[in-house]
Amino acid sequence: MHYAYRYRLHPTESQQEKLDQHRDTCRQLYNHALTEFDHIPESAGTLNQRVRQVRDQLPDLTDWWDTLNDLYSTVAQATVMRIEDSVKALSQLTENGYTVGSLNWKSPREYRSFTYVQSGFEFDNKNGQTVLSLSKLVDVPISYHREIPEDVTVKEVSIKKERTGEWYASFAVEGKAEPAKPANPDRCVGIDVGILKYAHDTDGRAVGSLNLRDERERLKREQRSLSRKQQGSNNWEKHRLRVAECHQQLRRKRHDFLHTLSKYYATEYDLVAVEDLDVKGMMESAGNSQNTASAAWETFTTLLEYKCTREGTHFAEVGPAGTTKECASCGVESDKPLWVREQSCPACGFEMDRDANAALNSLSRGFEKWGLGQSEGTTPVETALPLFTSSGASDVVNGKRVVETGSPTLTEAAPAAE
């Protein structure tokens, strides 16, 4: 499995200047390599072969480009090979339905990182302080807050400058064993994600959405103040950093929430089923795009997927179509407006909170995806969970055991909760 360990760097002013010069040299090399790559016809070979043709020109470039000799060899090679990753990323966006252009030159603000591949870096201890020694560059102090396991291999180190001016080092490692997933998962959960309640699972747990109102208001104030400054002035640069800090605070608070929630489900259950939402289509619809973007559902499912892989938990993304319309008891669909927050089946009389009903349907589809559903004529797996009798997440009452969707033995309406 591939993991990344991220650490904060604490360079001095002179070290920051060297890091910036190093980063800018990589940027100029990337722009030059991109120009050379554009001159190579597609008929000359595959994408990787064309990029390697540009990379093979590096020894000749050092004869007349003096500053290029300051770069460690793997840093220069990784800078050129970055073109391949960028082209693949654009192709993936095109496949997903996005309209993209071509690669362009990077400005100093757009190019913010460089990479050491396999060598040229090591940890050291100087004057009682842990430092990261970068070949042909600096020995920069690092906050080494957690150990990298000895049984893994560090493949590369990326040095990045955030928009706030902070420097970070990300260590990409591989070789960590992937735990085996249980053949017969016992603890299973289905999750329905939303905006009013961020996550509602089949165990009756409702997680409220993250409140970022104060952070957004501060961001708006700083953006208005930035718009009144003369671009490029000292005051403009000072307020630009404030805006970047506001964005960083929003991002950190959201990621902390998503990491905590995804880790909980990945560690507490053997199987996790969640809806695979079409966020792109939802963003294009008018009326609620800001809340949809703030929910970051794709980020949540991405974090949940890799954490499940890390913990040996089954992960299933299921189709979201009809999860709120289908009755979790008999499977009959019934249309209802968004403001109706309870599921009341006209066919069997089954009543439940709308989101809890959707979570049950997601879990059932997760069973089907992994082939864990019951065979015909057998008693299905039962799940004990509380039923919600009102749209409020706090009104929880004990209910009967709920038989999963598709049961051949369920022939009568489930009793209503008292």
Residue by residue, pLDDT tens for the chain (418 residues) are 678 899 999 999 999 999 999 999 999 999 999 999 999 998 988 999 999 999 999 999 999 999 999 999 999 999 999 999 999 999 988 888 888 888 999 999 899 999 999 999 999 888 888 999 999 999 999 999 988 888 888 999 999 999 999 999 999 998 777 788 887 888 888 888 887 788 888 888 888 888 888 998 999 999 999 999 999 899 999 999 999 999 999 999 988 998 999 999 999 998 898 888 766 666 666 666 776 777 777 888 888 998 998 888 888 888 877 777 777 777 667 777 666 677 777 777 777 777 778 888 888 888 887 776 543 433 333 333 333 333 333 333 222 233 333 333 333 444 444 4
The predicted pLDDT at position 393 comes to: 37
The predicted pLDDT at position 162 comes to: 93
The predicted pLDDT at position 1 comes to: 62
The predicted pLDDT at position 296 comes to: 77
3-state secondary structure the chain: CEEEEEEEECCCHHHHHHHHHHHHHHHHHHHHHHHHHHCCCHHHCCHHHHHHHHHCCHHHHHHHCHHHHHCCHHHHHHHHHHHHHHHHHHHHHHHCCCCCCCCCCCCCCCCCEEEEECCCEEEEEECCEEEEEECCCCEEEECCCCCCCCCCEEEEEEEEECCCCCEEEEEEEECCCCCCCCCCCCCEEEEEECCCEEEEECCCCEEECCCCHHHHHHHHHHHHHHHCCCCCCHHHHHHHHHHHHHHHHHHHHHHHHHHHHHHHHHHHCCEEEEECCCHHHHHHCCCCHHHHHHHCHHHHHHHHHHHHHHHCCEEEEECCCCCCCECCCCCCECCCCCCCCEEECCCCCCEEEHHHHHHHHHHHHHHHHHCCCCCCCCCCCEECCCEECCCCCCCEECCCCEECCCCCCCCCCCCCCC
The predicted pLDDT at position 403 comes to: 32
pLDDT tens across 124-169, in order?
Answer: 888 888 999 999 999 999 999 988 888 888 999 999 999 999 999 9
